[in-house]
Amino acid sequence: MIADLPMTLSLPASFGGGIVLGFAYFWALRETARLIVNGGHPALGLALTLGRLGLIGAGFYVAVLAGGAALIAALAGVLVAKAVMLQVAP
């Protein structure tokens, strides 16, 4: 699995995976906020919330299996995605 990869491959893969996780997480957070403000269906908001928390938890779990450095790289990717999404927020 990812723990068997050399560090030169696992760290960029974890960073890239963190970016993807971050974009998915913060997109779902934005949609949940829009849903609440616009008076959308509560079940959809709950589904988005549980989905984004499950996704980020599973992604960080996979990063933990690859080691501490991979976890930090994944977290850095999530933070980069957050910064990018805040810059392009409408």
pLDDT at 77 over 80: yes
Residue-wise pLDDT for 26-54, tens only, equals 999 999 999 999 988 889 999 999 999 99
Domain count, the chain: 1
* Domain boundaries, position 24: 2-87
pLDDT at 66 over 70: yes
Mean of per-residue pLDDT scores for the chain: 91
Q: How confident is the model at residue 90 (pLDDT cuts 50, 70, 90)?
A: low
pLDDT at 20 over 90: yes
Q: Which residues contact 19 (CB under 8 A, 6 or more apart)?
A: 77, 78, 80, 81
**Mean pLDDT, residues 12-39:** 94
Would you say the pTM of this structure is higher than 0.85?
yes
pLDDT at 64: 92
Q: Which residues contact 21 (CB under 8 A, 6 or more apart)?
A: 55, 56, 59, 60, 74, 77, 78, 81
pLDDT at 2: 59
CA–centroid distance for 50 within its chain: 13
